[in-house]
Amino acid sequence: MTVTVGFLYPGYSAEDDYPTLEGLIGDGVRLPLVHTEMREDAHRVDALLDIGGDDVLAEGAAALRDHAVDAVVWACTSGSFVFGWDGATRQVERLAEAAGVPASSTSFAFVRALRELGLRRVAVAATYPADVAGRFAGFLARDGVEVVSLASRGIVTAAEVGTLTRADVLDFVAGHDHPAAEAVLVPDTALHTAMLLDDLTERLGKPVLTANQVSVWEGLRLVGRTASRGLGVLSGRRTE
């Protein structure tokens, strides 16, 4: 049976990860994507609060109706955790109401993926400015996740993040591992990682979770589907 998980994606940067992952997963999975309005491309708190606003997401949910989705994911880590735990919870509740199907966001996808893997100590390799990266660490701490190392590359725009090369990504993530970390998290959906999942895990010798990877896994989790391939360490994993 084919399942369809829709994604709301702000602006244009690494959206091509989603058709790439759709092709890698196969197995009757469709991953349509709608670009939501980004009035300002900036990893800055005020801009991120605007990017993740209820009006923006409701408009995106309406555009997804033509795809007859079974679930929807707000594919923006910073545009969800910046609201804090309670605010991000309300955000996905309102998105579910607007879409008429189960909903989640990339921030909660990271939390649930860590629970599924039984991991509690992580390093974070964030492309964001330091203050935004710190908010992600705070969001994880709300679920009892210990961030033993937090790195910030300081990139302001998603557009610039999307231009980072394969070598850039591999070196950045590997360079910000920590011996005490059970996994490394890479929390920006603007970063191309779909074709790097196995390479990242092999290079670091531990699980690496990236934003677009966990977003797709979370969407499939919402509809009770497991991806047997294409999602790195999350392939074959499903939280009930």
Domain residue limits, the chain: 3-108+212-234, 113-210
Q: What per-residue confidence (pLDDT) applies to 236?
A: 86
Are 3-108+212-234 and 113-210 the same fold in CATH?
yes
pLDDT by 10-residue block (mean), the chain, 240 residues: 96 97 95 96 94 97 95 98 98 98 98 97 96 97 98 93 95 96 97 96 97 98 94 80
Q: What per-residue confidence (pLDDT) applies to 238?
A: 64
Report the CATH number of the 3-108+212-234 domain: 3.40.50.12500
- pTM, whole model, 2 decimals? 0.96
Q: Which residue has the tokens 């966990």?
A: 214
At the top level of CATH, which class does the domain 113-210 belong to?
alpha beta
- The set of residues, in sequence order, having a beta carbon less than 8 Å from that of 127 and lying 6+ positions away, is 43, 152, 153, 155, 161, 164, 172, 188, 190, 191
Spatial separation of the C-alpha atoms in residues 48 and 231, rounded to whole Å: 27
